[in-house]
């Protein structure tokens, strides 16, 4: 698994609530989960891209789910009783670019 996805998994297991990529990365730095070889100015954008790509490629087999635009949670933490925690399916970007 990708380092960014491992970081997201660790943070989301601890938080137990939907977080944005920036919130996940901030929590990862506080918990000292970010390895030294990961660096850059916009790491949160890379994290969001990796999570979105994983959701797109693996669909129902991925451990992640999206609850809203830019909000991620572990699939096992989705609650069917709350309407605000239902899975959100993002529109494909290719349609927006036409």
pLDDT tens string 56-83: 899 889 999 998 888 999 988 886 535 5
Note whether 50 and 58 are within 8 A (CB): no
Spacing of C-alpha 49 from chain mean position:
9
What global pTM score does this model have?
0.81
Residue 51 has pLDDT above 90, yes or no: yes
Q: Which of 82, 55, 64, 54 is nearest to 10 (CA)?
A: 64
Which residues are CB-neighbours of 39 under 8 A, at least 6 positions away? none
Angle between helices 3-15 and 21-30 (to 10 degrees): 80
CA 52 → CA 42, 63, 73, distances in Å?
A: 16, 12, 12
Mean pLDDT over the full length of the chain: 84
Residue ranges covered by each domain of the chain: 3-97
């Amino acid at each position: 698994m990708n380092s960014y996805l491992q970081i997201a998994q660790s943070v989301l297991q601890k938080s137990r609530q939907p977080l944005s990529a920036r919130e996940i990365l901030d929590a990862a730095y506080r918990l000292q989960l970010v390895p030294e070889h990961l660096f850059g100015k916009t790491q949160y954008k890379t994290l969001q891209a990796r999570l979105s790509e994983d959701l797109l490629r693996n669909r129902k087999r991925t451990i992640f789910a999206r609850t809203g635009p830019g909000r991620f949670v572990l699939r096992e933490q989705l609650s069917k009783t709350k309407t605000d925690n239902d899975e959100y399916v993002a529109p494909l970007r290719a349609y927006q670019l036409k």
